[in-house]
Amino acid sequence: MLSSKILAVVTFSYLAAVIFYLIALIFKTKIGQRIGLIITIGTFVAHTAAIILRWVESHNLGIGHAPFANFYESLVFFAWAIILLHFLAEYKYKLAHAGAFTLPFAFLGLAYASFSPGISSRIEPLVPALQSNWLIAHVITCFIGYGAFAVSCGLSIAYLLKRSNDKKDLDALNYRMIIFGFLFLTAGIATGSIWAHSAWGAYWQWDPKETWSLITWFVYAIILHVRLRGWHGKKIALFSIGGFLSVLFTYFGVNFLLSGLHSYIN
């Protein structure tokens, strides 16, 4: 498929952007950051085009469906969401070096999707359980949430590494990313639950995937409440990294280590 070939190139293109952002960070050159940004924008356009192309390709195969149906496609969209939210960070909050910390997550996600021997990039027909309009709403909300948490984790690492006393903006942005992720995770769990009801008759069955998404929700709900208690800066950064570990377990760990309703994803 052409789309998966484009995505393989996109993967390395993001790596190149990461390298330029790192150069900009280490050698304090503005030009590195600018090149990094240009590469990221160009790659993001190709990335978006590849997702749309994949949709078209599935229709040409006669099994047309939105490209959110298997593990490969979810990783591709996860990376896409990370880049989208990264732009928000870089533009709205003018954080020049954010790319060095957020883009690696997109690169790793795509590299895993494109080059892991265990992950098939084939376009597969939708099994009956996935033939629902809820699929699109559920996947988009969940992965925008996951993407925001990935960006927040990157910003948290940046916060911990940055040797400066003026990190208030970074902290504020990190907090807003967490809020954003929390909103979308909530919507993701809600759509999943309502979908589960229309597919299986039960909106909550304590299936491992459901339970871990709830655990992740608890973790970020705790962050929002300790923030109310005055925690900020380093503590929130550490907490956010912990929250992202929970996201990773919900996303990958459950699929590989625990069985359940989402097992058809692999």
Partner 1 sequence: MKPENSPSAPPEKRQPIWKSLASVNLTIFLLIFLAVSSIVGTLIPQNEAPAMYIQRYGYGTYQLLDSLSLLDLYHSGWFRLLLLLLALNLIVCTTDRLRHVWDIVFPKEKRLNENAVLAKPGTRALKYKANPSVVKAALLPILSGKLGDLNETTTGSTTILWQEKGRLSRLGVYVVHLSVVIFYIAGIASSLGGFITSINLPEGAVVEQVPLPNTNVGYNLGFALRVDKFEAQFYPTGEPRDYRSDITIIENGKPVLNGNIRVNHPLTYRGITFYQASYGRFPKTIELNLVDKTSGKTLPLSVPFGQEAILPDGLGTLRSLRVEPNVMDMGPAVQMLLTSPEGGQTDLWIFKNNPDFGRVKKLPYRFLVTEVREGFYTGLQVAKEPGILFVWAGSILMVVGIAVTFFMSHRKIWAVLEKKGEGTTVTIGGQTNKNKLGLEERLDNLYLRLQEADIK
The residue ranges that bind partner 1 (CB under 8 A) are 63, 124-125, 127-129, 131-132, 169, 172, 176, 179, 182-183, 186-187, 190-191, 193-194, 197-204, 206, 208, 211-212, 214-215, 218-219, 221-222, 225-226, 228-230, 232, 254, 258
Q: How far apart are CA 262 and CA 147, in angstroms?
A: 20
Q: How far apart are CA 223 and CA 209, in angstroms?
A: 21
* Residue 181 CB neighbour total at 10 angstroms: 28
Nearest CB to partner 1, comparing residues 27 and 206: 206
Q: How far apart are CA 2 and CA 173, in angstroms?
A: 37
Write down the least CB distance from residue 86 to partner 1, Å: 18
Nearest CB to partner 1, comparing residues 9 and 258: 258
Nearest CB to partner 1, comparing residues 214 and 265: 214
Nearest CB to partner 1, comparing residues 52 and 129: 129
Q: How far apart are CA 212 and CA 110, in angstroms?
A: 23
Nearest CB to partner 1, comparing residues 225 and 234: 225
Nearest CB to partner 1, comparing residues 28 and 235: 235
Write down the least CB distance from residue 19 to partner 1, Å: 30
Write down the least CB distance from residue 96 to partner 1, Å: 17
63's CB contacts (< 8 A; 6+ apart) are 123, 124, 125, 126
Exposed, middle or buried: residue 43 (CB in 10 Å: 0-12, 13-18, 19+)? buried
Write down the least CB distance from residue 138 to partner 1, Å: 12
Q: How far apart are CA 74 and CA 68, in angstroms?
A: 6
Nearest CB to partner 1, comparing residues 194 and 241: 194
Write down the least CB distance from residue 27 to partner 1, Å: 29
92: amino acid identity, one letter: K
CA dihedral 156, 160, 162, 166 (to 10 degrees): 80
Write down the least CB distance from residue 216 to partner 1, Å: 9
Write down the least CB distance from residue 83 to partner 1, Å: 22
Q: Which has the closest alpha carbon to 9: 45, 33, 34, 36?
A: 45
Q: Which residue has the tokens 């590849």?
A: 50
Exposed, middle or buried: residue 147 (CB in 10 Å: 0-12, 13-18, 19+)? buried
